[in-house]
Structure 1
Amino acid sequence: MQMDLSPANGDDVRQIRIALDGGTKCRWRLSGIRVGIQLARTSALAKGKDITPANYVFDFDDEGYSNAFGKGKPTPVSGNLFFKTEFFPMEYVYRSISEIDLDLFAGDEKFNKWNRYYKVTNSRVIKIEPILYLNKVVRLQTLGSSPGKVFATYPDGSSENISGRVPDYDKLLRMKR
């Protein structure tokens, strides 16, 4: 089920309350949630591009939500949670099919350091504070017919050949100012 966050109040905070335990006759319990963050389709940066959300995935039981949206193994967490993540717009240009994807990039999620997939216990509050550097776009472009070979151009104008779709996040963090 998709649920919208509340409209922003005076401090730009959006929120939603979600029950973990239904307590009704069927005794349902929440298995997991995915929180997706993406640029609005109406934003100038998103126009004409396929937009992919950056996801946070939270498992509350042992059912495992990873097949749907989690990447790697979930990081065990408990208590009130606060996530502050720095995102950079990442355009991925498929020259062969004239298509551009737009993602919000915050490191390779396969590595624990940047993973956003969690196994949650004993938590009542989950707060996510995304920091978006909208003017720091990294552009990835496929290199001809070489599968997996990509040319990355960073916001400072520097560039490099990379394998796959993962630019150097540490390099992007050094460029954020």
Structure 2
Amino acid sequence: MNMLVRHAMGSLLLFSVSGCAQNQTLSPPPGGEEVSITVKVPPNLAAEPMRVMYRSEKCSIKRSGADWSSYEEDGYLSTTIQPQQQGQSDIYEAKLAINGGSRCQWQLSNVTFGVTYANTTHFGDTVRAGPGGGIIVMFDQHLPQQRSAFEPTRKVSGDLLIRKDYYPWINEQLIGKHENVAWIVGEGEIYSYYRAPNARKLTFEPVLHADYVVYSVESKVQKVGSYPQNTYPDGSVTADGNKPSFKKLQAIRLSKGNK
């Protein structure tokens, strides 16, 4: 049985291919190397489905340049895998084959995973879950599909343990569609980026400080100098055009002697 499927889904799973090798399936060789990814999920959060990208030098894609010249780049294949809960614990795991096999000899390129809100009703009936709490790990020289120009990539030589603090952020949007969105605020952008070509075990342990909520309300009109108002857990307010400050949230919590 397909090793990737056996570990991640427990049943036959087909994968869609973009590029020259359409309608192919992954066929990892039995006993091949794998990457184990575990996520320790805090209360009220859920492990997001993992978005996995494989690439192939053998099944390349022809592209056209701006000057109508042609060139080739590695073919790519993407799939989504749901990590599985380990017993009754808060640990969720998936195992990904390094060598995806088939005639294209697919090789693991990157994976996107993380946590999101499983339930937002404790914030209010109209609050929906938003982004935040994401991790992208690259195993080759390619950039991932989702990329922030402002977030640095951390390079890791071996296995990877990621332990990060996060805070709830309730953002009330008034312009356009009126809605309330529950974000997860961490250090940096929505995703944190790592390049770990030799990693065979990835562990993500997000720590959600649920009692330290920051609330934002957008301005009702769009004009110069009119910014959203951020109200922090200590009652302080900012309206400087920036999203809530992770450093300020950390300082508020630590000032109360919490770790």
- How far the C-alpha of 1:11 sits from its partner, in A, is 4.4
Structure 1-normalised TM-score?
0.83
Aligned residue number for residue 161 of structure 1 = 239
Unaligned runs of 5+ residues in structure 1 are none
Spell out the pairing of 1:96-107 with structure 2 (5 A cutoff). 96=175, 97-107=177-187
Figure out how many residues of one structure are paired with residues of the other and give that number. 171
Distance 1:14 1:46, change over 3 A: farther
Distance 1:46 1:74 in 2: 36
Determine whether 1:85 maps to 2:164: yes
> How many Å apart are 1:87 and its aligned residue?
0.6
Identity %, equivalent residues: 23
- List alignment gaps of at least 5 residues for structure 2: 1-78
* Closer, same or farther: CA 77–70 of 1 in aligned 2, 3 Å: farther
User: How high is the TM-score relative to the length of structure 2?
Assistant: 0.59
The SS at the match of 2:235 is: coil
For 2:120 and 2:244, the matched residues in 1 are separated by: 26
Superimposed CA distance per residue, residues 80-137 of structure 1 (whole angstroms, 9 cap, x where no aligned partner): 1111111101111112332112111012339xxxx71112221111100000111211
2:208 alignment partner, one of 107, 132, 137: 132
- Letter of the 1:140 counterpart: S
Alignment map for 1:107-146 (pairs within 5 Å): 107-109=187-189, 116-145=192-221, 146=223
**CA displacement 1:30-64 (0-9 Å, x = unmatched):** 11110131010365237432322321011112221
Contact 2:99-2:106 at 8 Å conserved across structures? yes
Assess if the C-alpha contact under 8 Å between 2:152 and 2:193 holds in 1. yes
Report whether the alignment pairs 1:175 with 2:252: yes
Which aligned runs of 4 or more in structure 1 are off by greater than 6 angstroms?
A: none
Aligned residue for 1:170, secondary structure, equals helix
> Distance in 2 between the 1:8 and 1:41 partners?
21
Three-state SS of the structure 2 residue aligned to 1:122 is coil
Amino acid at match of 2:183: D
In the superposition, relative to structure 1, how do residues 152 and 44 fare at CA in structure 2: closer, same or farther (>3 Å)? Answer: same
Change (3 A) 1:125 1:64: same
Residue 61 of structure 1: aligned partner: 140
